[in-house]
Amino acid sequence: MATQMDERTLDIVLDVKVKVTVQLGSCQLPMREVLALAPGSVVQLAQNASDPVGLYVNEKLVAYGEVVVVADNFGIKITELVGSIKPVL
């Protein structure tokens, strides 16, 4: 059971901005290939198109999801939460 103090403390942190990042994939390239990158270059990632992407909050993995398109923008549909993170409703 939450107390008034707990609710006020939670209200304070709910407005704190955090960095949210989605990692689509990664690869390793020799420096020679990195230096040769130019507009139009294609970098092949080690992941398959059907693999889930990682959702990071302040560089900590918190969920996996699928890439979706929403009104001509990319988004992520959460498919799995990592660890014991529980959404606050």
Which CATH number is 29's domain given?
A: 2.30.330.10
Collapsed DSSP state (helix, strand, coil) of residue 10: helix
Cα separation, 2 vs 60, whole angstroms: 27
87 domain-assigned: no
The pLDDT assigned to 23 comes to: 95
Mean pLDDT of 39-47: 95
The pLDDT assigned to 83 comes to: 82
Domain of residue 65 covers 4-81
Domain count, the chain: 1
Mean pLDDT of 5-22: 84
pLDDT tens across 17-29, in order?
A: 999 999 999 999 9
Sheet (strand 73-81) strand order: 20-23, 53-57, 60-70, 73-81
How many Cβ atoms sit within 10 Å of the Cβ of residue 55?
21
Cα separation, 26 vs 67, whole angstroms: 16
Cα separation, 13 vs 58, whole angstroms: 14
- Lowest mean pLDDT segment, chosen from 12-16, 40-44, 62-66, 72-76: 12-16
Say yes or no to pLDDT of 79 above 90. yes
89 domain-assigned: no
